[in-house]
Each structure stands twice: as structure tokens, then as C-alpha cells.
Chains A and B, each alone.
Chain A
Amino acid sequence: MDRGWQHSMERRDFLKFGVLTGATVTLTACEKPAQQLARFVPEEDFVPGVATWKPSLCTMCPAGCGVVVRVIDGDAEVVRKGQRGIIKMGLAKKLDGNPRYPVNRGKLCARGQAGLQRTYHPDRLRSPMRRSGSRSGEFHEIGWQEAMSEVVAKLEESSAKRPDSIRFVAGHLRGQRRELINKFLASLGTTPALQFAPLDEPVLRRANQLSFGRAALPSFDFERSNYIISFGADFLGTWNSPVSQSIGYGEMRRGRPGNRAKFVQVEQRMSQTGANADEWVPSSPGTEGLLALGLAHVLVKEGLRSGQPATAQSREAEEKLKDETFSPTTIASKTGIAASRIERLAREMAAHPPAVALIGGAALAHTNGLFNALAVNLLNMVLGTSGLPGGMFFAPGTSTVNAATTTNDPSDFVSQLLAGRLDNTEFLFLDHTNPVFGTPSGWQVSEKLKRIPFIVSFASFIDETSVLADVILPDHSPLESWLDDVPESGTSEATLALAAPAMRPLHDTRAMPDVLLEIARTLGKGTGEALPWKTFEEMLQSSYRELLRSERCDQPDGFEKLWKSVLEQGGWWDGKCQVPSGKATPLSVRVPEFVSPTFDGSEQEFPFFFQPYVSQAFLDGSLANLPWLQELPDAISTVTWGSWLEVNPKTAEKFEIRQGDLIRVRSRHGTLDVPALLNPGIAFDVVAMPMGQGHEFGRYAAGRGANPMHVVAPVQVEQVGSLAWAATRVSLSKTGQQGRLCLSSGALQEKEPEVR
């Protein structure tokens, strides 16, 4: 076992230490004996080592925060040219927020800080792997030369037969990495990469495309908001750009003396964000959009909206909003919220401008998610704060250099797979994505992938999807890579992120972009002209040369100076704050047609709404193998190392369920067993469960908890096609066994100690 005595002190530090300790002993000699004893080797007398801080980027979630990495020399066991040995190298020791970066401004969340454990993870693949025998999960290590020649040979074979049988599926696709992948695919004569990213919010993108002409995620100016109403968005925990939103939240609460804004959360299960709300509104599942229209109805009907409708179209929409179908009395029964309360909320909103509405989480994951999102967009239009201080806005586009993420419907992996357009795939690339874990079993993603003759994965770990690969070409960890990103949300100035490797690679891995470039070179076939760069670094440099040629960037001293400053500060941003920008001018202000949510399973047989939610520690499950996050108590349940099913105590009493009882959750599509956790913050007819546990692979994650995807019905959001993960009904039964529930608090219901 490693004892971890890591005081790898340099000689100079040792001398400093000696001098300092000596001085302390002399100075303290005249004190009381107790203190002399105490000064023997106190922690405060260690002299800290010399560290450098290097900028890098966080890749743990799509928010794209900038980080600084504390790098200190240490001894590490590494592989160089096939030889294993111990060398002294700079090692990443701590991640903190990059203070200059416009999104997170020096702050970083728990998940971001745990990114360090991805680099040093004991399960990381240390060299290319080749499948042994059938697709049963057995691999053996091979060399890069062997792996690459096999991949190139297979690729040549497929490309000669039918180039469009080569497909690429990636997680989050942004920036130059996305450009490179798509250029590589184009040079092979096939279609652009598909994306599978469960946290990508395709419903919200589609709604914003329809309402604002921007298929992008919104940003918010909470610092200046006086009223926030969130429909299910866990914006302080996991949704969109949580760090940037939390910074704004803190200012909105206490940063403006005498002006503390009100924050209302609409949801059925109290999230970490909802726990911070001034008012918590549990509407019926799937009626969030209707509630938003009800609020808009009161605002319009009572003439409370600020200013006048801008266009004839919006005047028409407001006339339609006045219709009795949206009156609080009509919608009260559907939403479960009293008419008087809806009226009061609307009046409060009008009395405290600027007010802003946002939507996320389960509200978007019902079958009528698009309606809910469009209704909230309409409420924002009526509130009249889009693009203004205190409202929502879109981060300024950075399209001159990097095509910002646009609508990904044609590149959506799930819809392509379900439409059968991947059936004749001969060759599949997988890049940092785990669709087998993140989709309901009903879609049979695993079975469909198994039919593909040859799969190459760039995974750093064996997971439920990469285990199906024939060859794994492990990527560097993000801290060992050239990284670039275009943060989509949370910044009010045009931002491009870029970072050089913070440390040298530990294992015999290669950066995925460099591997693609090498494959292209080996294949010949004119690929060299489309992809003229030897390395990803060269490609990034040329993208910044392009930036310099554009008018957006005024760096008079030429490329070298620009490149140096970009590497020093972790990217490029123009420093021109563009809020208020008026960028979110509504395109369409039609009142969306009300669509009722539908749920899989009958109410009689399956009495409960099943609501999975994005885990605070593991998000969709991609972070479940990090021990720091496994042992992080969930903010609401305080559970560590497992998963749980939240049940209202009244419901539990009725069904004689006690805390910790192992409950069998059954839907029309499957069952799972999970311990019950009694939670007063959940509706009587709703049960909730975090996503992210129930993995088959990973030493810290395997066999722990359960994956809610086992019961989620394979139902899609209407008109969008993404998974409607909140549209399942379930029944509960007791197994008679005790579940493994590792609580770090005692009982859920306890009084806060009296504070004087």
C-alpha cells in the first residue's frame, strides 16, 4: 500500500524549512512551556513547495468553465517508448477556477474539481486495447502501430465499399475538435459526426430556434434580476452553466444592499436549487407550460406588462393570451395551483421588474416538453426582459472562428439510430459518449451497436459502450491535451477557450485529434489538403490566425503576441460586454397550442409518476467512477456511495414503506430495486431517483445503486425526438429486504439547532 508521504522537498525548500523552523524555535523560546512543546513540528511551519498555475479547461460538463491547474514536480510512474519507469515531471495537484475566464470567473463546482481524479484514475486505459474473442468485455493490450494499422486497413476497406457506412458518434461536439472530426469525416466522403449528449437540452434548443431563431442555450443576467421564476431548472446545481448562474445568484441575494430579489421554483420534487427558493410551487407534472401561460394571461389581462407589444404579431398573440382557456381559474385544476396564487405570482412579477423565467429539468422531459419551453419563452416576451439587463440573453456568437453549436437534429444519434439510418454502418467511431448507459433498454442501443462489424473507441475507460469496441485507442486525459471550447452560455462577451496541456501524459495514450490526423495522413486519398495540419496544435494556431484576420480581434502586434496571450490566460475574449444586447429579440410570438403530457402506463396499474433527475455528483452518470464524487453526500438526501428512491413520508406511511426498505420499482418496460428514502419535498404521487448509478464497469461505480433507465419508457418528446425521461408511470412494491442506504445525516426530519 502506498503510504503517500509526498513531501518531495527540493533542496532549496529544505534549506528554507531549516531556517524558518530555527527562527520559530528561537522566537518562541520565551513563552509558556505548553507552547514550546506545541511548536515542535506544527503544520503551520511547513514551507509550501513552489507551484506553477497553468490554465486549462473543464470538460466534466458542457458548461465549459476555465480552470487553472496547480502543477508541482513529483515522481510519477510513466510509459515512454514502451518502457515503464519513474521520472520527475510536473503533476497536476489542484484545479481551481480561472479568475480571468468570463464564464466562471475564478469559481469551480465540486464536479469540476474532481476532474483531477480522471487523470490519475487507476482504471484508465494505459495503452491501445484489442478485443479478445467475442464482444464479451475481454481485451488485451496492443501497441499503437498494430492498432493503427488495423484501424486504417478496416477504414480503407469500408471506404472503398461504401464511404457513408463510416459513422462517428461523439459526446459534446464543440469548437475546433468538432471541426476536425467533421473535416476528417468529409475527407472520407461520409456524413458529419452524430452527437449523443444526454445533458444537451435539444428541446430547449428547438424552442429557442422557434422563438428567437437561435438554437442555443440561454444565459441569464441574475445579478440584475429582481424576480426569478424557474420551471424545473436546477440552475444552481447541474443545469446549463451552474457556476456562472451561482455567481449571479449570490449577487442577486446579497450583492445589492436593500434589494433582495424573489426566486420562485416550480417543480414536483425539491431539487438543490428549489431548496433555495423563496417560494416553492409544486405544479402537476407536465403542466409547467400551462402555468407559464396562466401567468402571462394575468400579466396581459390586467395590463401589467411593461411597455406595449412591439409588433402586430405580438399584439395578436396577447389578444389570444387573454382567452379564458388560460385564465387562472381554468388552469388551476390542471396545474394543481390555486387561481389566487397564480394571480398573486403574476402581480409580484410585474411589480418587481426586471423579472425572468427559465425552464429545465423534468419540465423539458415530458412528452409536451416543447410546449412547456415555448410557453416559458412567451412568458419571457411578455415580461419584456429578453436581451435586457436582468433578463435572459444569448452569449455573443463566435462564428467567425468556430461555428457555434447549431441545431443538432440531423446529427442526433438517437433519432438516427431509431430511424434505422445506422443499420448499414460498417465502421463506427465512438468518442467520449456512453449511449448504452444513457438510453432506456427499450431502444436496444447495445444490441444495435453489436451488429456493427467494426467499432473503434477513443475512450479512456471501459464503460457500457466502449466495451463493445473492437479496438480502443485511448485518448489523453483533458489535463494532458490541447483543448479548445466555445462556451455557449454564461458569458456576455465573445469567448473562445484554449489551453495547452497542463502536464505530460502518464500513460501510453495519444490525443484523439492527433490520431485522426495521423489516420488521414496514412490513408492518403487527398486527405492531406483538407487536413493540412500535422497536429491539433497546428490546427488551433491556424484558427487563431483566422481570428486575427477577422475584424473581431484587434491585436496589433501580430500572431505570436496573440498566441502567447491566449496560452497565458486560457483563451481569448474580446472584453466587450454585450449585455444588454437586444440579441434575444423574439422571432415568433405565437401562443403555443396546449399539448397535454402523456405518460407511459395506466394510472390504475402504475400509480406513481417516475421522475429521474440529473445527479448532483455524477450528472448523467459519466462521473460515477470518481471516488471523491461517490463519497460526496448528496445535498438533499445526504446519501453517499449509492442510489435511492425518494418517496413522500405520507405516501410511505400509506404503503407501510420505511426508510431504507428495498423497493421494487416496476414500469411497463422493466424493474429495478432501490432503497426508499423518505423526503418531505416531493409530491404524494411522484417518486424520484437520481441518474448516474447502476454502472457495470469502473471499480468505484460498478454494481452500485441502480440505473433509472431500466424502467424509463422509450418515449420521445413530441416534435423533437429526444428521450422524454419524465414520462413514465411506475408501481412500487416491497421486496421485504433492506437496501444499502449510506446516509451521512441522521433522520431526514430534524430541527435546526437554536442559534443565538
Chain B
Amino acid sequence: MPVLGRLAGEGTRSPLGNRLMSHHWGMAVDLDRCTGCEACVIACQAENNVPTVGEEAARRSRTMHWIRIERYYEGEFPNPRVRFRPVLCQQCDNAPCEPVCPTYASYHTSEGLNAQIYNRCIGTRYCANACPYTVRTFNFFNPAWDKPLHLQLNPDVSVRQVGVMEKCTFCVQRIKAAEIQAKAENRELREGEPTPACVQCCAPKALVFGDLNDPASEVSRLSRSPRGTKLLGELGTQPKITYLQRESWNGEDR
């Protein structure tokens, strides 16, 4: 159980203020479980009011998805190999997107999330240029929903306007809801209570979310796995997402 103010190894200090965090939200992505089914993509889109942009904008790579499945081919027929990798905001502890923002719209929360304050954002797109993961998406147009499709919008998440940068929040509204519920019941958060939409729907349980401050949580356990790697970790961004590499069967190269 996480205790306020406890030092639980690396990463509990915010690079901004060195303030101790009560929770340190992180994720583990087991690439051996991921099947590339893309349920997470739609789950995220539905939960976070991510608009569809239409064919023309999509052709210019302006789709707004906060999570995508990268597909890599290796080899030729008859031995082609495919790997899938879900990529979302890595919620870096040393995030390149934060210091470049002239309006402090991109900042670090007390629980270690890289957050975006939409009404501070003036659309310089410095953050998207600084991000090595290309997970930030920019609203080139005002989003529109043909009526009555607007009724699908989640009232817990703001709809972003033209000129605003947006990105994965680890479903901060769900974290908040779980925290409020726990507070109302006068107890600590339980493992698995805050669940981002992508994690909730993942059938093979490739995505695991939890508190990295709690050494007993599943996400902490998986993050310590010998299969664990950080995406572009050599850049020193200190991502909070650990990718567990795919294994081969009986040691065969796969």
C-alpha cells in the first residue's frame, strides 16, 4: 500500500520540484501478450473524446489517436516476421516536452503524469517537436461530430479546440474518480482501481497499469522483469512505461 511521502527507490522525485509523490503511475506493456487487435485504440478514442479527422487529414498523418499500434516487418516470404508495439505517451519522468513549453501548458503533476493544460496551450508545437515518441497530436482544425454523434462525448474530458496540442493523460479523469471514491470511503487506493480505458479492454492483458511507488503492485513487479526495456531509454527521458520484450519458443530465433 503506498504511503504518502515514502521513498520507494528511483523515479519518485519529480524532476521539476523534487517533491515526493504519493503515487507514481506507470505502465507495463507485455509485447509477448499483445496481439495487435487495436481494442485499446478505440477504447482511448471513446474515453477521451479523440476526434476522427477524415480521409484527407488522415492522409497527411493528422489522425489524433493517443495510442497507436506500430507494426514492424522483418524478413521476406516465406519467413516474414511481424512485431506489434503499442505506443502511447511514455509519461517520462524527465520529459523533453515540458521544459520547451513557453506557457507552461505542458507540465508534470504531483503524481508524475505529463499533463497538458489545454487552455494554456497556444499551439507552438514545440512539445511535439521535442517528443521523441511522436505521441502528441495537434488540433489543426476544430473537431466536429455529425449530430447526434456528439452525444457519445465523455463529459469528464474536455473537448480540445483548434490550435491546441493534446496527448495521452493515462486517463487522469479515471484516476481522479478512483481517488475521490477512495477518499469518500476514507481508505487508500486499491491496486487496480484506477484503470485507463486502454488497459481495461485489453483482452490478453498486455497492458498493466498501476502505482510504481508500491513495490508489490503488478506494474512494479513487471517493470523489474529481465525482459523489460524502455523505449528510446538511452535518450534519458526516464519513461514510466516498460516494454517487456517478446520471447521465442524453445530459444529459437523468432
Chain B positions within 8 Å of A40 at CB level:
117, 119-120
Q: How far is the CA of A272 from the CA of B84 in the complex (A)?
A: 10
Q: How far is the CA of A72 from the CA of B32 in the complex (A)?
A: 37
- Beyond A35-B17, A96-B201, whether A648 also contacts B77 by CB under 8 A is yes
Chain A positions within 8 Å of B140 at CB level:
none
What 7 additional pairs, Cβ within 8 angstroms, besides A1-B142, A42-B107, A748-B73? A34-B107, A42-B109, A47-B176, A95-B46, A254-B32, A636-B82, A683-B78
In the A-B complex, the 4 residue pairs with the smallest Cβ-Cβ separation, listed nearest first, are A250-B204, A275-B82, A246-B203, A38-B107
Chain A positions within 8 Å of B78 at CB level:
280, 282, 683
| 8 cross-chain CB contacts under 8 A | A4-B153, A9-B155, A43-B173, A46-B173, A631-B53, A635-B69, A682-B77, A755-B232
Bitwise, B41-69 to A at CB < 8 A (1) or not (0) is 11101110100111100110101000011
- Beyond A43-B118, A247-B204, A681-B82, whether A48 also contacts B156 by CB under 8 A is yes
Q: Which of B210-225 contact A (CB under 8 A)?
A: none
Please determine whether A684 and B77 come into contact, CB atoms closer than 8 angstroms. yes
Bitwise, B64-95 to A at CB < 8 A (1) or not (0) is 00001111111111111011110000000000
Q: How far is the CA of A276 from the CA of B82 in the complex (A)?
A: 7
Please determine whether A250 and B206 come into contact, CB atoms closer than 8 angstroms. yes
Please determine whether A616 and B155 come into contact, CB atoms closer than 8 angstroms. no
| B205 close to A (CB within 8 Å) | yes
Please determine whether B143 and A4 come into contact, CB atoms closer than 8 angstroms. yes
Please determine whether B150 and A6 come into contact, CB atoms closer than 8 angstroms. yes
Please determine whether A4 and B201 come into contact, CB atoms closer than 8 angstroms. no
| B19 close to A (CB within 8 Å) | yes
Nearest CB of chain B from residue A374's CB, rounded to whole Å: 27
Q: Among B5-13, B122-130, B246-254, which stretch is in contact with chain A?
A: B246-254
Chain B positions within 8 Å of A273 at CB level:
35
Please determine whether B144 and A278 come into contact, CB atoms closer than 8 angstroms. no
Please determine whether A109 and B39 come into contact, CB atoms closer than 8 angstroms. yes
- Beyond A122-B148, A275-B82, A278-B254, whether A3 also contacts B46 by CB under 8 A is no
- Beyond A2-B150, A43-B118, A94-B46, whether A640 also contacts B71 by CB under 8 A is no
Q: Which of B152-182 contact A (CB under 8 A)?
A: 152-159, 161, 169, 172-177, 180
Nearest CB of chain A from residue B190's CB, rounded to whole Å: 15
| In the complex, residue of chain A having the shortest beta-carbon distance to the beta carbon of B107 | A38
| A237 close to B (CB within 8 Å) | yes
Please determine whether A254 and B33 come into contact, CB atoms closer than 8 angstroms. yes
Please determine whether A109 and B16 come into contact, CB atoms closer than 8 angstroms. no
**Which of B111, B152, B155 has a CB less than 8 Å from the CB of A7?**
B155
**Which of B42, B75, B157, B173 has a CB less than 8 Å from the CB of A628?**
B42
- Beyond A275-B36, A632-B41, whether A49 also contacts B155 by CB under 8 A is yes
Chain B positions within 8 Å of A76 at CB level:
148, 151
Q: How far is the CA of A262 from the CA of B248 in the complex (A)?
A: 9
| A536 close to B (CB within 8 Å) | no
| B231 close to A (CB within 8 Å) | yes
- Beyond A34-B16, A616-B38, whether A122 also contacts B151 by CB under 8 A is no
Chain A positions within 8 Å of B144 at CB level:
1-2
| B197 close to A (CB within 8 Å) | yes
**Which of B32, B109, B151 has a CB less than 8 Å from the CB of A120?**
B151
Chain B positions within 8 Å of A107 at CB level:
39, 201-203
Please determine whether A94 and B154 come into contact, CB atoms closer than 8 angstroms. yes
| A745 close to B (CB within 8 Å) | yes
A residues within 8 Å of B by Cβ?
1-9, 31-32, 34-35, 37-38, 40-49, 72, 74, 76-77, 91-97, 104, 106-114, 116-117, 120-122, 236-237, 242-243, 246-247, 249-250, 253-254, 260-262, 270, 272-273, 275-276, 278-280, 282, 506, 616, 627-633, 635-636, 638, 640-642, 648-650, 680-684, 699, 704, 740, 742, 744-745, 748-753, 755-756
Q: How far is the CA of A35 from the CA of B248 in the complex (A)?
A: 46
| B189 close to A (CB within 8 Å) | no
Please determine whether B45 and A628 come into contact, CB atoms closer than 8 angstroms. yes
Please determine whether B33 and A96 come into contact, CB atoms closer than 8 angstroms. no
Q: How far is the CA of A395 from the CA of B115 in the complex (A)?
A: 46
Please determine whether A650 and B77 come into contact, CB atoms closer than 8 angstroms. yes
Nearest CB of chain B from residue A39's CB, rounded to whole Å: 9
**Which of B46, B75, B200 has a CB less than 8 Å from the CB of A680?**
B75
- Beyond A246-B204, A262-B250, A680-B73, whether A276 also contacts B35 by CB under 8 A is yes
| B37 close to A (CB within 8 Å) | yes
Nearest CB of chain B from residue A112's CB, rounded to whole Å: 8
Please determine whether A74 and B203 come into contact, CB atoms closer than 8 angstroms. no
Chain A positions within 8 Å of B147 at CB level:
2, 77, 122
Instruction: Please indicate which of the listed interface residues A42, A43, A750 has the most CB atoms of chain B within 10 Å of its own CB.
Output: A43
**Which of A109, A506, A629 has a CB less than 8 Å from the CB of B203?**
A109
| B237 close to A (CB within 8 Å) | no
**Which of A109, A110, A270, A282 has a CB less than 8 Å from the CB of B82?**
A270
Nearest CB of chain A from residue B115's CB, rounded to whole Å: 6
Chain A positions within 8 Å of B149 at CB level:
117, 120-122, 627
Q: How far is the CA of A681 from the CA of B37 in the complex (A)?
A: 18
Q: Which of B3-37 contact A (CB under 8 A)?
A: 16-17, 19, 30, 32-33, 35-37
Nearest CB of chain B from residue A22's CB, rounded to whole Å: 15
Please determine whether B177 and A110 come into contact, CB atoms closer than 8 angstroms. no
Chain B positions within 8 Å of A95 at CB level:
46
Chain A positions within 8 Å of B157 at CB level:
43, 46
Please determine whether A32 and B17 come into contact, CB atoms closer than 8 angstroms. yes
| B137 close to A (CB within 8 Å) | no
Nearest CB of chain B from residue A564's CB, rounded to whole Å: 25
Chain A positions within 8 Å of B54 at CB level:
631, 641
Please determine whether B158 and A7 come into contact, CB atoms closer than 8 angstroms. yes
Nearest CB of chain A from residue B104's CB, rounded to whole Å: 5
Q: How far is the CA of A632 from the CA of B59 in the complex (A)?
A: 13
Chain B positions within 8 Å of A742 at CB level:
55, 58-59
Please determine whether B204 and A253 come into contact, CB atoms closer than 8 angstroms. yes
**Which of B19, B146, B154, B169 has a CB less than 8 Å from the CB of A93?**
B154
Q: How far is the CA of A109 from the CA of B149 in the complex (A)?
A: 20
| In the complex, residue of chain A having the shortest beta-carbon distance to the beta carbon of B47 | A94
Chain B positions within 8 Å of A276 at CB level:
35-36, 82, 84
Chain A positions within 8 Å of B53 at CB level:
631
| B135 close to A (CB within 8 Å) | no
Please determine whether B39 and A282 come into contact, CB atoms closer than 8 angstroms. no
Q: How far is the CA of A636 from the CA of B115 in the complex (A)?
A: 32
Please determine whether B250 and A745 come into contact, CB atoms closer than 8 angstroms. no
| In the complex, residue of chain A having the shortest beta-carbon distance to the beta carbon of B154 | A93
Q: How far is the CA of A522 from the CA of B36 in the complex (A)?
A: 52
Please determine whether B155 and A44 come into contact, CB atoms closer than 8 angstroms. no
Please determine whether B80 and A270 come into contact, CB atoms closer than 8 angstroms. yes
| In the complex, residue of chain B having the shortest beta-carbon distance to the beta carbon of A4 | B159
Nearest CB of chain A from residue B98's CB, rounded to whole Å: 10
| B185 close to A (CB within 8 Å) | no
Chain B positions within 8 Å of A72 at CB level:
155
Please determine whether B36 and A631 come into contact, CB atoms closer than 8 angstroms. no
Please determine whether A116 and B109 come into contact, CB atoms closer than 8 angstroms. no
| B139 close to A (CB within 8 Å) | no
Chain A positions within 8 Å of B61 at CB level:
744
Chain B positions within 8 Å of A279 at CB level:
249
Nearest CB of chain B from residue A73's CB, rounded to whole Å: 9
| In the complex, residue of chain B having the shortest beta-carbon distance to the beta carbon of A20 | B180
Please determine whether B155 and A97 come into contact, CB atoms closer than 8 angstroms. no
Nearest CB of chain A from residue B145's CB, rounded to whole Å: 6
Nearest CB of chain A from residue B246's CB, rounded to whole Å: 9
Q: How far is the CA of A157 from the CA of B60 in the complex (A)?
A: 58
- Beyond A32-B16, A110-B41, A116-B46, whether A48 also contacts B52 by CB under 8 A is no
- Beyond A2-B144, A635-B69, whether A260 also contacts B249 by CB under 8 A is yes
Chain A positions within 8 Å of B206 at CB level:
250
Please determine whether A77 and B148 come into contact, CB atoms closer than 8 angstroms. yes
Please determine whether A2 and B145 come into contact, CB atoms closer than 8 angstroms. yes
Please determine whether B249 and A236 come into contact, CB atoms closer than 8 angstroms. no
Chain A positions within 8 Å of B63 at CB level:
631, 633, 640, 744
Q: How far is the CA of A1 from the CA of B148 in the complex (A)?
A: 11
Chain B positions within 8 Å of A753 at CB level:
231-232
Chain A positions within 8 Å of B151 at CB level:
74, 76, 91, 120, 506
